Structure 1
Amino acid sequence: MPPPELDFRLDDFEAADERAEEAFWHAIGIEQDMLTALAEYHTPDGSQSFYVLHNGAATWGIPGEPQLVALYLQRDLAGRTFRFEHAKLPLSAMAQSWLIHRGCPRDAIGLLPGMGTPSADETTRALEQRLMGDGDHFALLCSYTRDDPDDMTTVVVLRALDERSPAPFRVLHEEVDTDAGMHTLREGGFATVDEAVQWCDNRLGGEAAPLPPVRLTPRRTRPSGTVPAAPAQRPPGRSR
């Protein structure tokens, strides 16, 4: 059964200005026929819409690019204009979190029936629920999405925004079992960004060890007023 036709509910609406019109075309409109709504919610008055979209065109683009788009539409009902925000994100829970922190009710942005794969176990479900709630506690550093049917996997490197976090760098690792039609999601903690990225490189090369657990033991805090040096960042980058 084909997915329902994507409707942004923008009939008789225009972008608020030329900049918004151009930005919407480049971010959404140019690939609209390749977008599928995995989840959507519309406020009762029609002034706001929230979408989790899958971009089918991403599989032909830069290897490893995120394939999900979180889209937040804001409509001026009186002026018949709209504005939008969007983000390209690698995991559905991250896209849902992005929308929730822009006002979407948490219980209204679940994946539509038949969209995506169900969670394979309780560990996956619990981690996804936590990411939906506290996704704004982390910054996305890099990710790699591999859509090879023989190895459908996504690795994500996050940095905790709380400088006192005992696990400042996290790796999220999603694997899809195409035979079972389910997916697992796991989390690991790392002391440095280089260690996190190296784990991702190893996994993409088929050599990864199990993810180290997230250590939540207290650690020595930095003296007040000091700022940590920005880590060197490099995305995982093995070819598909």
Structure 2
Amino acid sequence: MTPDQTPFPAGGEPRPYLDFRVTQLDGDEQISRAFYDAVSVNDDMLDPLAQHHSADDAHSFFVLYDHTATWDHPGEPQFIALHLQRDVQNRTFRFERTVLPLPSMAQSWLIHRGCPSEAIALDPDRGTKPADEATRALQERLMSVGDHYALGWSYTSDDPDDHVTLAVLRARDEHAPSPFRVLVEEVDFDTGTHTLREGGFGTVGEAMDWSRDRLEGAARPLPPVRPRSAHSRPTTAPKSAASRPSVRAP
């Protein structure tokens, strides 16, 4: 797969400047080495889609597209969410990172670590654009309620003729309608757009069966998410989950 067949091409317009601002923060050799191994070793292959730095420079938040993911194991997620915390006085820093299948999920992960939601909008000049209002609305909802769900499984097929990302989520609220969700993002390179849709399932088996069928080219229509009953409990995330969302199997 060539770079111009990715939804976030490496060629074309110059890549936005990527500065982690940790060059002088080498007071903890172990952390510095871990950060190099986990992030900066491939920084020339990371495309910053969104970044925000706090006014005091104590925190930085990044949504990064990893161009090396296409050469990793088939299906690997291609987006990195990175949170940096700096201690300039002691010349040290800490970092958290996770790899996720969709940019909106990376944004949600950062928002729930203190990044202002309005500050981590994706660069409109990078990558494909939402094809319709349904896509835009679902992306915004995932940013705000992403901590209500745990990611169980995902697969990104970067076939240029059928570039699709699937993600199976489990609702943290056991009373949620359609407790398992499947997100489907499809990229249209001819128009430079993508669509994002959501389906609701009662069991993880049903969600996985639908996802496998889609990858094999035999997808059925996505079942709608069941509406919440008036007698159901409201969907709320446990405080511990809101502060540190986990990524685990359903």
> TM-score normalized by structure 2?
0.85
User: 2:15 aligns to what?
Assistant: 3
CA deviation digits over 1:182-208, x for unaligned, max 9? Answer: 010000000110110111110011000
User: 2:137 aligns to what?
Assistant: 126
User: 1:31 aligns to what?
Assistant: 42
**1:166 counterpart (170, 177, 180):** 177
Contact 1:15–1:83 (8 Å) recurs in 2: no
Identity among equivalent pairs (%): 57
Question: Cα distance 1:16–1:220, how it changes in 2: closer, same or farther (>3 A)?
Answer: farther
SS at 2:185's partner residue?
strand
User: 2:153 aligns to what?
Assistant: 142
Contact 2:176–2:228 (8 Å) recurs in 1: no
User: 1:89 aligns to what?
Assistant: 100
SS at 1:216's partner residue?
coil
Superposition pairs of residues 220-239 of structure 1, within 5 angstroms: none
Does residue 13 of structure 1 match 2:15?
no
Q: Distance in 1 between matches of 2:15 and 2:195?
A: 24
Runs of 4+ in 1 over 6 A off after TM superposition: none
Cα deviation for residue 4 of structure 1 reads 2.2
User: 1:46 aligns to what?
Assistant: 57
**2:77 counterpart (56, 66, 69):** 66
Q: Distance in 1 between matches of 2:203 and 2:153?
A: 14
Q: Distance in 2 between matches of 1:96 and 1:77?
A: 26
One-letter identity of the residue aligned with 2:221: P
Q: Distance in 2 between matches of 1:23 and 1:168?
A: 37
Does residue 184 of structure 1 match 2:174?
no
Query: Unaligned regions of 5+ residues in structure 2, if any?
Result: 1-12, 233-248
User: 1:206 aligns to what?
Assistant: 217
CA deviation digits over 1:72-106, x for unaligned, max 9? Answer: 00000211211000110000000000000000000
Q: Distance in 1 between matches of 2:41 and 2:230?
A: 48
CA deviation digits over 1:26-46, x for unaligned, max 9? Answer: 321222221110100000111
Question: Cα distance 1:204–1:219, how it changes in 2: closer, same or farther (>3 A)?
Answer: farther
CA deviation digits over 1:155-196, x for unaligned, max 9? Answer: 000000001112110000000111000010000000110110
One-letter identity of the residue aligned with 2:62: Y
Q: Distance in 2 between matches of 1:15 and 1:195?
A: 50
User: RMSD across aligned C-alpha pairs, in angstroms?
Assistant: 1.8
Q: Distance in 2 between matches of 1:29 and 1:207?
A: 40
CA deviation digits over 1:93-130, x for unaligned, max 9? Answer: 00000000000000010111311211111111110010
One-letter identity of the residue aligned with 1:67: Q
One-letter identity of the residue aligned with 1:6: L
